[in-house]
Structure 1
């Protein structure tokens, strides 16, 4: 029986470390979309090839808003009950996106770079004062993007333990019930309402104040849109970057010669970061569904109006037709095609530039301050996350 004749249970979570589930590779090499079965509400299509992923993410015949419906295949028991900027279509999505895009301009991110560098070096100062082994995740990978996120959005740093607990719940796949998930979102919304009240009384220069201004003065945001923005930013603001810093450092320390090459070629760090973003899978193959609003043709497959399609960006980043030797990490890669680490099209991650800069500064600081950095345990003893949307090590013990 060919792959096209089968329906596969999804998500594909049979992977180790930085490898992909073999079923993703098989699906991609089949040459067209694959039929999948979600834990709830039935079957859908899965796009795994680079071109197909980009098509689904850019073609207006695929709707994110329609995927909020109760009968759309999904991973959680209950349909989504909170709508965010990721769950609306054009032109509404463009209106909302423009309101926050000002916080992520090239000029603003470049202006943050000295602060990010300062925080990274301060954290490494603290690392060097500790007895090895040191958990790189708790010492650098997590606190760096969390601290930067607090400054950007305007969340008090002293509240970081509380909202970290919430964000961990939001990226869990099956570790909490639907009711527990709802309670987390309600707690997060209550927290944001209090912050919004504070910004109304005492405006500051952070992103939250800018959004409050758009709500109160410009009449461009509803109160619920304002809350939803905060939920989205908290959910995606630092967990993804922390995971990428940890997984990227693991790769650089476990592939023979990579760390020494990075030290010997400081100018090559920017190219290395782009290859890390392409190669390191940040999720387990999961993603947000799109629903076809009319029939759409792919190679040998017709997606009918009303059918759901999921995309695997991590599979698209391993497409051999686009990236030669796609399963190999190559610091000298010069492929013209851009990677899909931050998605593509109208819903491409707004924080892509910030996340890339944080990864760059974290690795540069480690390279310059701890050139003899190494894993403190055998690579096979590193424990990896399971049962969550995001991949990465649970702990990363290092020494110098």
Structure 2
């Protein structure tokens, strides 16, 4: 019979799978094991890393595991097998740009553009990132600081470093959080995080905080929880460090003629702006691409394939993706920035009535495409640019008009 091993307070129990779930550790047992782990496992590493005992004790004073956090494996439980994505629906990309969210984020940004104009100008002068882009990130991440961030970071990170399926990742973040306190950037009790361990108004993980957070108000602290200048400066510094190119826009909404395949999308298929123009791609507002861009590289972006708006984006778009690896996130930030700065309206092309598929359907299609030699970017159930252009290439090979986006008919056809 297959056996499972549980280690609790130095006692090794050998249990059969039939009795395992009933004998998973209780909350008091987990608390005791956590304290044992802090003292005998984490503290030696923290001490070696230069963390003082005073800081360590301050950070974990009164801290016990929060068993309501997601993605935990309690002592005595089998590691959870990822559930099939059968009940997880993938909606239309247009849902990401619902009017309520767009209008609220835009209005908040416009108001704060005037309120913090001097700080935003200083951020742009130092890091080259336009104030409206910094505002859009701030608005998306924490509602311009209005979203409550109630969790004790050491409770969240400690729990996840002890019990999560990705222990090593969270242990690294926990050690970074201790370093933040050790260096005096913030007091341990004031370090609040999301349920995932992201810190403050810009929502930096602790390792990102150490790399990117700045003291922009000059008070000697990198206070991204309470200081607006530190928050704005830290966002600008983050984007600058990831390669934001001053003086360039993030991208332009365009019209893509039917003669240009949507399978040309992606950051690895760039062309000079002049080359895109020669293919017949034009801006939807009738203006020419900036002359400064014509000899620089641009990239086709079609987040819903032929079922939605299209863009030629610059490298700055992919810098925005470093904040959140989602095309829709980066597009949201760029679009909100345009609305704040220029009073821009919605996209000229609407989002088609696509979506309603289960992620498991998309994952199955991705697996089939990869078996047929296409690079769909893995089978994660999300139609990223590699999946979209693989669909387009498959459609072209079948003699179909490429749409570059999954639908029910395609899921059934690509088997």
**TM superposition score normalised by structure 2:** 0.26
Task: Identify the structure with bigger relative contact order (alpha carbons < 8 Å, sequence gap 6+).
Answer: 1
Larger Rg: 2
